Amino acid sequence: MAEIPEASACDVIVVGAGPVGMWLAAELHRGGVRTVVLERRAERPPHSKALTIYPRTLEQFAMRGIAERWTQEGRPVPSSHFAILTNRLDFSFLDTRFPYTLFLPQRRTEELLAEHLAELGVAVLREHAVTGLRQDADGVDLDVVTPAGTTSLRAGYVVGCDGGNSVVRACAGIGWTGEPSTWTAILGDTRLTDPPPGGALTLNQPGGSIYMVALGDGRWRLATIDHAIIADPVGKPVTLGDLRASALRLAGTDFGMREAADTWLSRVGDETRHAAAYRAGRVLLAGDAAHIHFPAGGQGLNLGLQDATNLGWKLAATVRGWAPEELLDTYHAERAPVGRDVIADSRAQCALFANPTPAGIALRDRFNEFLGAHESLRRELALRLSGLAVGYGIPESGPASAVGARVPDLELRAAPAPSVHGLLRAAKFVLLALSPADGPWHSPDWLAGYRDHLDVVTAELADKRPDWAGVRALLIRPDGHLAWALRDPDPPAGPPLASWLGSLSGPAGH
Ligand SMILES: Cc1cc2nc3c(=O)[nH]c(=O)nc-3n(C[C@H](O)[C@H](O)[C@H](O)COP(=O)(O)OP(=O)(O)OC[C@H]3O[C@@H](n4cnc5c(N)ncnc54)[C@H](O)[C@@H]3O)c2cc1C
């Protein structure tokens, strides 16, 4: 086991080695920050909550050059669902290299992230449970229970990635607003001797809905929203007999369900909560520590990983001392609305599939008809699930090339990478000059003090997307969102480097 680092050797402590904590630690490391991850569990749990990885998450892995680790193992499914309805959402129209839902159990995602952290040399200290926290003007002290006793660790910043019951959030006094569970679903990962054909099944019945998907190796996940047991409390244990009875009620068969050593059964409720703030001084939150909701459409893991991509470079810039003053606060400003939107989406799905009244069932079935009839509705919902529509500070109807928008993986010529995402490996800002005659960036003086955090790339745009025609230069943030663009017919000008990369004396700091 890794040694506890010297207190003075750590800039940021990440609490929780779930997927979000590990990805955040990797991003912080890329930003030049000394970080350590504390995890209370000795071992990773064998089962997987999440199964789905959405396109924007894969793009974020691709920007750091590691997406193949997921795509070569996961199973691409060309569609997803809304509210477990049978008329599915086709993803193939999405403007991304990953126009699908990638099925890969969360445990594998966590193992891949753990391997990535090990390659980077970031320590994950297991059996280190955080139990208390105090912050002052310069840092945060954590009480940590280890097998060797209780110790205290100090760092400049602490990020709580410690899940829905976050101790960090509670100790930092951050509010947790929302509602307790009002109904529950059951799910089981188990073995079937008589599975349905085709690897997946969705049924919407008068008595509820059943969703099944093959996990590989003869294992299947079954989830039932069964009106007969929908009022059972979330803490009530689930047996295989409960799952079998539910399958019989909703599908007329138990699919040859058999108890196996690796069977995992659980009950999930619709408890929904959102942190009142993602930052309190030197304490920040990401992932389930900041938001929980019913796992409708499988969005929580993706949302959390994307929180981490937004936070990593901002916190690194703050720790390294080059961040503009307000930068760290933009984390809450940008990500809390995205969290609210996913929560609203999850609630809307729940309203469709978990209302056992005749009116609720009629609404569910009518909405399914609408989905089947209207491609634009299916596309809108697919785009939302994919994460590709998330933009920061742009009106929804703005052009794709508006400031704050996600920069798609635009193809390039005469560049160090064949497309834009390949320029973001180092998680630095990228100034992409597409019209070399423009702008003052030829002058080494102009960029002088920024070189550590900024790559300047001259290239030609090989892409024909209409929204990007006439764009002559871009400043791209380390998380792949647009910070600035120079377009026809703008007069030549340089990017607002000071507002993104901090003020310097001299010509660059304007
Ligand atoms: C049934 C189910 C299905 C789901 N399906 C999907 C899906 O398909 N797609 C999707 O995107 N999302 C899905 N989700 C949601 C997803 O699983 C979560 O959003 C995701 O696990 C959140 O990751 P996290 O790292 O924020 O938190 P967690 O995974 O909860 O990790 C938190 C970590 O912190 C550790 N920890 C906690 N307290 C402390 C402490 N005091 N000190 C030290 N360590 C601590 C924990 O041991 C844990 O390892 C699903 C959830 C459920 C329940």
pLDDT 10s digits, 420-459: 999 999 999 999 999 866 666 656 677 778 888 999 999 9
The pLDDT of residue 1 is above 80: no
6-16 average pLDDT score: 82
Residue 50 C-alpha to ligand 1 middle, in angstroms?
8
User: pLDDT tens-digit profile of 237-251?
Assistant: 999 999 999 999 999
Q: Which pLDDT does position 447 carry in this prediction?
A: 78
Residue 271 C-alpha to ligand 1 middle, in angstroms?
14
The pLDDT of residue 380 is above 90: yes
Q: Which pLDDT does position 185 carry in this prediction?
A: 98
152-157 average pLDDT score: 97
* Residue minimizing CA distance to atom 38 of ligand 1: 162
Report the alpha-carbon distance of residue 69 to residue 24 in Å, rounded. Answer: 18
Q: pLDDT-derived band of residue 464, with 50, 70 and 90 as boundaries?
A: confident
pTM beyond cutoff 0.75? yes
User: Which of 48, 82, 104, 106 for mutating ligand 1's site (highest number of atoms within 8 Å of CB)?
Assistant: 106
368-396 average pLDDT score: 92
Q: Which pLDDT does position 451 carry in this prediction?
A: 84
Q: Where are the domains of the chain?
A: 7-51+105-179+272-350, 184-269, 412-501
94-111 average pLDDT score: 97
The pLDDT of residue 7 is above 60: no
Q: Which pLDDT does position 507 carry in this prediction?
A: 39
User: pLDDT tens-digit profile of 63-82?
Assistant: 999 999 999 999 999 999 99
Residue 275 C-alpha to ligand 1 middle, in angstroms?
16
CATH of domain 184-269: 3.30.70.2450
Phi/psi region, residue 67 (left: phi>0; alpha: psi -120 to 50; beta: rest), is alpha
* Helix, strand, coil distribution of the chain in percent, nearest 5: 30, 25, 40
114-118 average pLDDT score: 98
Residue 95: name the closest of 472, 373, 473, 406 by CA: 406
Q: Which pLDDT does position 448 carry in this prediction?
A: 76
Q: pLDDT-derived band of residue 503, with 50, 70 and 90 as boundaries?
A: confident
Q: What is the DSSP string of 404-447?
A: TSBPP--BEESSSSSBGGGGGTT--EEEEESSTTSSGGGSHHHH
Q: Are 48 and 105 spatial neighbours (Cβ–Cβ below 8 Å)?
A: yes
**Any idea of the CA torsion for 254, 258, 264, 267, to the nearest 10 degrees?**
30
Q: Which pLDDT does position 506 carry in this prediction?
A: 39
φ, ψ of residue 75 in degrees (nearest 5): -105, 115
What is the percent of the chain where pLDDT is above 70? 94
Residue 238 C-alpha to ligand 1 middle, in angstroms?
20
Q: Which pLDDT does position 440 carry in this prediction?
A: 63
Q: pLDDT-derived band of residue 3, with 50, 70 and 90 as boundaries?
A: very low
Residue 163 C-alpha to ligand 1 middle, in angstroms?
5
102-131 average pLDDT score: 97
Lining ligand 1 with CB less than 6 A are 15-21, 38-41, 49-52, 106, 129-130, 161-163, 167, 187, 268, 287-288, 295, 298-302, 304
Q: Closest ligand 1 atom, CA of 144?
A: 42
Class at the top of the CATH hierarchy for domain 412-501: alpha beta
Q: β-pairing, 35-38 with 123-125?
A: parallel
> What's the Rg (C-alpha) of the chain?
24
Beta strands in 459-501 (DSSP E): 460-461, 471-476, 482-487
CB proximity list for 224: less than 8 A, separation 6 or greater: 185, 186, 187, 208, 209, 210, 211, 243, 246, 247, 250
Fold of 7-51+105-179+272-350: FAD/NAD(P)-binding domain (3.50.50)
The pLDDT of residue 395 is above 60: no
Asked whether the domain spanning 412-501 has the same topology as the one spanning 7-51+105-179+272-350, the reply is no
User: Which of 110, 167, 301 for mutating ligand 1's site (highest number of atoms within 8 Å of CB)?
Assistant: 301
Q: Are 83 and 44 spatial neighbours (Cβ–Cβ below 8 Å)?
A: no
324-350 average pLDDT score: 96
Q: 54 versus 486: which is more confidently predicted?
A: 54
Q: Which pLDDT does position 399 carry in this prediction?
A: 65
296-320 average pLDDT score: 97
Q: Which pLDDT does position 402 carry in this prediction?
A: 85
Q: Are 204 and 364 spatial neighbours (Cβ–Cβ below 8 Å)?
A: yes
Q: Which residues pair with 460 in a beta bridge?
A: 413
Q: What is the DSSP string of 38-96?
A: E-S-SS--SS-S--EE-HHHHHHHHHTT-HHHHHTTSEEESEE-STT-SS-EE-TTSSS
For Cα atoms 216, 217, 218, give the angle at the middle one, nearest 5 degrees: 90
Q: Which pLDDT does position 14 carry in this prediction?
A: 98
Q: pLDDT-derived band of residue 217, with 50, 70 and 90 as boundaries?
A: confident
Residue 361 C-alpha to ligand 1 middle, in angstroms?
31
Q: Closest ligand 1 atom, CA of 22?
A: 25
Q: Which residue has the tokens 């005659």?
A: 437
Would you state the structure tokens that stand for residue 363, as one six-digit string?
Answer: 């609404």
